[in-house]
Amino acid sequence: TIAKSEVDAKRLEDTAPTDVLKTGIHQSMMDLAALAFKYSNPDDMPSILKHAARVAMVGIIYGNAPAGRPGEWKKMTRKQVQELIDNAGDCLTAKDHKTAKTEGPIGKYIPPGTLQAFVAYLSITSHDKPVFLQGAYRQGNVHMSNCLSRWCRAYTPKHGETTPTVMRKLYTTAVAD
């Protein structure tokens, strides 16, 4: 709708500039590395820090490369991400996504820094849950939009909050310009 487009345009305008996003992504990576260093056993990590790790990971995913839609990440499995790490790859395949019936699987480019963040994140999350991004209470209970808003408040506090849709538009707008 027009109203939604206007809201997204305002959010896009308020999104942190590239240099601020890069600084936030770098700090997120450092925070994940510190948590992985401190907590070798995920069961020892307080739930508030597990949430902080999830927020940092979502910020890295959406800020470091075009991430696509949230559903693709909600369904991404630990196994897929571990195989990417084991093979030192740079592309994850999302088979289950919004246009899968007509377009088939889509690839997601994973930059080297994001791959290293994956290593840290996997080391501090439960090995019992099959999903990559793990919710606090139930398997798959990750709200990407909420995590991305929290990431903005924590890592780019002088700028507006963003959403997965706005980040998609940020990348497509940057390419179009």
Helices 2-14 & 164-176, crossing angle to 10 degrees? Answer: 80
Q: Which residue has the tokens 């507006």?
A: 160
On the question of pLDDT at 37 being above 80, the answer is yes
Give residue 168's identity as a one-letter amino acid code: R
Global confidence as pTM? 0.88
Closest CA to 103 of 62, 143, 68, 75: 68
Q: What tens digit of pLDDT does each residue of 136-166 get?
A: 655 446 888 999 999 999 999 999 888 887 8
- Nearest C-alpha neighbor of 65 from the set 173, 176, 171: 171
